[in-house]
Amino acid sequence: MPSTEQVKEQAHHVTEKIREHSPNQSQVIGLVTIITAILLLLTIGGGFGLAAYSASRWLYEYVKGRHPVGSDRVDAAKSRLVDTASHLKERASGYVHGVQESAQHAKDRTVDAATT
């Protein structure tokens, strides 16, 4: 059986080995910082991933005609866009027709003036 002095010496030796291999304060702070940054990135990335999944799922449901929440607002906006585009097309057609008539009248007056 080892003596008390030998046990104390062995305990001291083990304690010294642990201290030699344990990180110092700056290493612990660095490790905590890295772990915090990784957790933050995973949390943010997970949030963006969830948002992307939700948006793509909503779009899939909408395209399939299953009318997800908010699809009535999208349909109303689409209808307004179609109406506005149709109205603008009619106005542009009227302007083009007016310009063509003005050009034709100017041409006719030029021809009449040249023949007289």
Question: For residue 2, which amino acid is it?
Answer: P
Q: pTM above the 0.85 mark? A: no
Query: What digits encode the pLDDT tens for the residues 72-114?
Result: 999 999 999 999 999 999 999 888 888 888 888 888 888 777 7
Query: What digits encode the pLDDT tens for the residues 22-41?
Result: 888 888 888 899 999 888 88
User: DSSP letter string over 44-103?
Assistant: HHHHHHHHHHHHHHHHHHHHTT---TTHHHHHHHHHHHHHHHHHHHHHHHHHHHHHHHHH
Q: DSSP letter for 66, please.
A: -
